[in-house]
């Protein structure tokens, strides 16, 4: 039973660089929370502060309600899996797993039993006497896991533990870690830059950008109702298509969106999702559509020039141009493309035949579109929904 | 000017002649019929190196081995293993062996331990590069130079404390009020007793003072090499140990030291071999090994040349060779372990 609370947590380096300007985050008991973001977003710094490997410059950190700011890593009762695994090369697998217990002068028999238990759980029983240098990448990863879980810590920290594995093993280990975490029910904070990992593993996912928390929510929420342009474009692969559009008055007084030379009429279903759009007539916005919202079914449509068709087996990715400038979130702010055309990607049923270098009309489900402010990047017009 | 030109021409001629011989030999080898041609070509290239190796190393070694079985000023009288028997029975010779053993033990141990300690203390300290540079400086001094410098430190002149130029004697006499008993001027490098205690197993004080000099030289080398190895210990490992609950001391002894074990063995064996051959310090500070300070290498020189006992000198060389073999073996094995990622 453990919780972790970060209250206005700050990290400033001596050279004045502010890695984390102030982070509020809570990891609930037994929860699997994933910190995700591009490199340099401060996610590893936060994890290392939680571990006690980095000083905290400001704010509070509570484990189970107890302030641990000034405690060393030894006192925090946490376990960590490193990206490099950090296995002790001079010790066997068994000694690696039992090292923490040995330091605590645990009874030898108890130690042996626990190591054996964990080894059996992670299928390491046959390699207990080997040194890390003699193990495969996957086995090393499991030893690192074993070293962490054998202690039954309050908190489990993982720093990109899968990034040294090949693609196939990564998918397999991803599932194993999730299963193990649910089974042991240990509160976990997991850092990754891979949004697929974040979405598949996390109970909740916290998206960080330059030290700021952009959104912390369940994977579904992040995907379907992103709080801002950054989250919208960071989560999802292929990423969300965002172009500039104007809100205009369409037929019957209902709002519509002008995208380049085309007008997309919003219907009641769309307005139920985006009630705020009624008050935005005349305003320029960033208009986001996920690839799967295009092309399958919908109440509206949009004409595009197909440039390239990628057949992925289950789906078809159609790369096409549209006559509206693209919008993306950069470090400097929201950036509107200079060109008046932009590339968009539609994910369609693989059975549909699409010819490259043709003009086609893609259907659009307007009830699943997103609108963002062109200056702040915040999601606008959304209905207030409480999920989770 | 003429001289320079002459030298230049001589070198050019020499190189040209060498090249001509090589090309000529290669051409000759190429003229041979098929089964012999390739072998002859190999010999043309490997041959010169082989000649040097055999003539410069293997033959002299064998000759030394043969020499060790003879006695007399010209080493022409068959003596069997007599030299070795003397070496291990005569009391003066046993002192040489005893000294060498102490040299090897104390210098290797002290330099390595000091190296580890300073490397650890200096690690991540402010001004670390300067501290290490200072400690490394003596390594650049020749042994003879170091011997001369330290001769001054240990020098004693008369009874008057204020007339001393030897630092140690001066300190010794000045410390009179603090130390128990009466402080007489002491001739450090002539004191063959172990702190006033006469023993045939323990080294003399003079030997210990000479050992200090080599430790002073060797510790810098050990520090720099071990420090570099410690920098190579991944931060993750130490951090993982911390999270596992290890204190700084525990993570040093259980993670860092085992990680740099290979380097420590390399440093220790290198020092060991260097000390086994210790000669210059004994020559300069012990006046050629007097006052019971001689060592194997020093004695080898004294016997072979000034004392005209080439047979006995050769026997000492053989003993040195035999003593080095296991160290070289350990070192080679250690290098292999390091390469294979331990």
A51 contact residues in B (CB cutoff 8 A): 239, 243
- 3-class secondary structure, A41: coil
pLDDT at A85 over 80: yes
- Looking at the partner chain, which of A52, A83, A99 has a beta carbon nearest the beta carbon of B244? A99
Q: Are A20 and A37 in contact (CB under 8 A)?
A: no
User: ipTM score here?
Assistant: 0.85
Paired sense of beta strands A370-372 and A212-217, if any: unpaired
Q: Where does A236-372 sit in CATH, by number?
A: 2.40.50.140
Q: How far is A8 from chain B (nearest CA, A)?
A: 24
Residue bearing the bigger pLDDT, A133 or B337: A133
Contact A131 B239 (CB under 8 A): no
Mean pLDDT of chain A: 92
Strands A187-192 and A241-249: unpaired
Residue B341: its pLDDT value, please? 61
Question: Pick the residue with more confidence: A237 or B210?
Answer: B210
Ranges assigned E (strand) in chain B: 70-71, 77-78
- To the nearest whole percent, how much of chain A has pLDDT over 70? 98
pLDDT at site A357 = 86
pLDDT at A386: 44
Among B178, B190, B185, residue whose Cα is nearest residue B160: B185
Question: Which of A52, A63, A73 to substitute to test the interface with B, most B CBs within 10 Å?
Answer: A73
Other C-beta atoms lying within 10 Å of the C-beta of residue A84: 17
Domain at A4-232, CATH class: alpha beta
- Mean pLDDT computed over B30-40: 86
Q: Sorting pLDDT into bands at 50, 70 and 90, what band is B258?
A: very high
- Mean pLDDT of the region A205-226: 94
pLDDT score recorded for residue B268: 95
pLDDT at B342 over 60: no
The verdict on A146 touching B (C-beta cutoff 8 Å) is no
What is the tens place of the pLDDT at every residue in B263-279? Answer: 999 999 999 999 998 99
Multiple choice CATH, B82-339, 3.30.379.10, 3.40.50.11810, 3.40.50.150, 1.10.3720.10: 1.10.3720.10
Counting one residue from chain A and one from chain B, the pairs whose CB atoms sit within 8 A come to 66
pLDDT at position A74 over 70: yes
What pLDDT, in 10s, does the model give residues A269-308?
899 999 999 889 999 999 999 999 997 777 888 999 999 9
CA distance A91 to B241: 12
> Residue A384's pLDDT band (boundaries 50, 70, 90)?
low
Choose the mutation target among B243, B261, B336 for the interface with A, i.e. most A CBs under 10 Å. Answer: B243
Q: What's the mean pLDDT in A350-364?
A: 88
Percent over 90 (pLDDT), chain B: 62
Alpha-carbon distance A208 to A214, whole Å? Answer: 6
Secondary structure of residue B139 in the 3-state scheme: helix
Distance CA A345, CA B72 (A): 98
Are B243 and A88 a contacting pair at CB < 8 A?
no
Least Cα separation, residue A21 to chain B (angstroms): 25
| Contact predicate A42/A19, CB 8 Å | yes
Q: What pLDDT does residue B123 have? A: 86
Judged against a pLDDT cut of 90, whether residue A94 lies above it is answered with yes
> What is the arithmetic mean of pLDDT over A94-103?
95
Which residues, 6+ apart, have CB-to-CB distance to B74 below 8 Å? B310
Q: Considering only CA atoms, which of A151, A139, A57 is closest in space to residue A98?
A: A151
Give chain A positions within 8 Å (CB) of B239. Answer: 51, 53, 73, 80, 82, 86
User: Distance between CA atoms of B302 and B309, rounded to whole angstroms?
Assistant: 9
Span A334-343, average pLDDT: 92
Q: Mind listing the pLDDT tens digit for each residue in B194-203? A: 888 888 889 9
Q: How far, in Å, CA of A314 to CA of A199, rounded?
A: 20
pLDDT digits (tens, 9 = 90+) for B281-323: 999 998 888 888 999 999 999 999 999 999 999 999 999 999 9
Which residue from A149, A145, A180 is spatially nearest to A161, judged by alpha carbons?
A145
pLDDT of residue B54: 95
Beta carbons of B250 and A103 less than 8 angstroms apart: yes
Tell me the domain boundaries of chain B: 2-67, 82-339
pLDDT at B192 (0 to 100): 85
Contact B342 A131 (CB under 8 A): yes
B184 part of contact set with chain A, CB < 8 Å: no
**Closest chain B residue by Cα to residue A133:** B341
User: Which residues in chain A are classed under CATH 2.40.50.140?
Assistant: 236-372
Tell me: pLDDT of A182 over 80.
Answer: yes
Report whether B95 contacts B247 (CB < 8 A): no
- Given pLDDT bands bounded at 50, 70 and 90, which one contains residue A355? confident
Structure confidence at residue A237 (pLDDT): 87
- Report whether A83 contacts A160 (CB < 8 A): yes
pLDDT digits (tens, 9 = 90+) for A157-176: 999 999 989 999 999 999 99
What is the per-residue pLDDT across B79-119, written as a single tens digit (0 to 9) for each? 999 999 999 998 889 999 999 999 999 999 999 999 999 99
The predicted model gives A190-218 an average pLDDT of: 94
The residue-averaged pLDDT of A315-338 equals 91
Band of pLDDT at residue A1, cut at 50, 70 and 90: low
What band does A388 get if pLDDT is binned at 50, 70 and 90? very low
pLDDT attached to residue B335: 87
């Amino acid at each position: 039973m453990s919780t972790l609370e970060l209250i206005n947590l700050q990290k400033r380096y001596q050279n004045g660089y502010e890695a984390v300007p102030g982070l509020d985050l809570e990891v609930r008991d037994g929860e699997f929370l994933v910190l995700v973001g591009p490199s340099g977003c401060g996610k590893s710094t936060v994890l290392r502060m939680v571990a006690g490997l980095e000083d905290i410059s400001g704010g509070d950190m509570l484990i189970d309600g107890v302030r641990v700011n000034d405690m060393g890593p030894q006192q925090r009762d946490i376990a960590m899996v490193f990206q490099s695994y950090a296995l002790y090369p001079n010790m066997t697998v068994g000694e690696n797993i039992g090292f923490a217990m040995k330091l605590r002068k645990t009874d030898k028999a108890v130690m042996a039993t626990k190591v054996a238990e964990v080894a059996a759980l992670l299928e390491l029983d046959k390699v207990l006497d080997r040194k890390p240098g003699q193990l495969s990448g996957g086995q090393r990863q499991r030893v690192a896991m074993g070293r962490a879980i054998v202690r039954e810590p309050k908190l489990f920290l993982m720093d990109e533990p899968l990034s040294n594995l090949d693609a196939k093993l990564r998918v397999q280990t991803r599932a194993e870690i999730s299963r193990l975490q649910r089974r042991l029910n240990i509160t976990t904070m997991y850092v990754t830059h891979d949004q697929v990992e974040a979405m598949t593993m996390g109970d909740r996912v916290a998206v960080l950008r330059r030290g700021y928390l952009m959104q912390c929510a369940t994977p579904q929420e992040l995907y379907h109702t992103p709080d801002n342009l950054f989250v919208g474009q960071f989560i999802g692969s292929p990423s969300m298509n965002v172009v500039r559009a104007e809100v205009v008055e369409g037929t019957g007084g209902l709002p519509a969106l002008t995208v380049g030379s085309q007008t997309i009429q919003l219907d009641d279903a769309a307005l139920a999702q985006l009630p705020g759009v009624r008050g935005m007539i005349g305003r320029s916005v960033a208009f986001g559509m996920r690839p799967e919202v295009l092309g399958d079914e919908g109440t509206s449509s949009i004409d595009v020039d197909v440039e390239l068709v990628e057949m992925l087996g289950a789906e078809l990715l159609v790369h096409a141009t549209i006559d509206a400038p693209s919008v993306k979130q950069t470090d400097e702010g929201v950036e509107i493309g200079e060109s008046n055309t932009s590339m968009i990607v539609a994910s369609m049923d693989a059975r549909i035949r699409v010819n490259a270098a043709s003009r086609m009309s893609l259907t659009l489900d307007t009830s699943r579109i997103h609108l963002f402010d062109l200056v702040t990047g915040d999601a606008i017009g959304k209905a207030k929904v409480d999920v989770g | 000017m003429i001289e320079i030109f002459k030298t230049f021409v001589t070198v050019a001629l020499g190189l040209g002649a060498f090249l001509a011989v090589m090309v000529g030999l290669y051409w000759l080898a190429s003229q041979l019929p098929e089964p012999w041609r390739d072998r002859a070509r190999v010999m043309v290239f490997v041959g010169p190196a082989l000649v040097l190796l055999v003539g410069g190393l293997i033959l002299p070694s064998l000759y030394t081995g043969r020499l060790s079985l003879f006695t007399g000023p010209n080493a022409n009288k068959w003596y069997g293993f007599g030299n070795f028997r003397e070496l291990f029975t005569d009391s003066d010779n046993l002192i040489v062996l005893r000294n060498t053993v102490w040299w090897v033990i104390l210098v290797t141990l002290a330099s390595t331990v000091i190296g580890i300690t300073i490397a650890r203390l200096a690690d991540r300290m402010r001004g670390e590069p300067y501290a290490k540079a200072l400690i490394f400086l003596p390594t650049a001094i020749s042994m003879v130079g170091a011997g001369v410098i330290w001769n001054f430190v240990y020098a004693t002149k008369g009874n008057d404390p204020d007339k001393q130029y030897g630092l140690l004697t001066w300190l010794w006499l000045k410390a009179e009020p603090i130390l128990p008993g009466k402080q007489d001027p002491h001739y450090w490098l002539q004191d063959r007793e172990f702190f006033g205690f006469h023993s045939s197993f323990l080294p003399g004080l003079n030997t210990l003072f000479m050992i200090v000099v080599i430790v002073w030289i060797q510790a810098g080398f050990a520090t720099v090499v071990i420090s570099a190895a410690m920098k190579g210990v991944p931060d993750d490992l130490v951090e993982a140990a911390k999270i596992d609950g290890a204190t700084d001391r525990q993570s040093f002894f259980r993670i860092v030291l085992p990680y740099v074990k290979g380097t420590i063995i390399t440093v220790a064996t290198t020092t060991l071999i260097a000390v086994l051959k210790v000669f210059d310090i004994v020559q300069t500070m012990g006046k050629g090994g007097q006052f019971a300070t001689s060592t194997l290498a020093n004695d080898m020189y004294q016997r072979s040349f000034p004392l005209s006992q080439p047979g006995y000198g050769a026997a000492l060389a053989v003993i040195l060779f035999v003593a080095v073999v296991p160290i070289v073996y350990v070192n080679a094995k250690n290098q292999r372990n390091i390469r294979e990622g331990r």
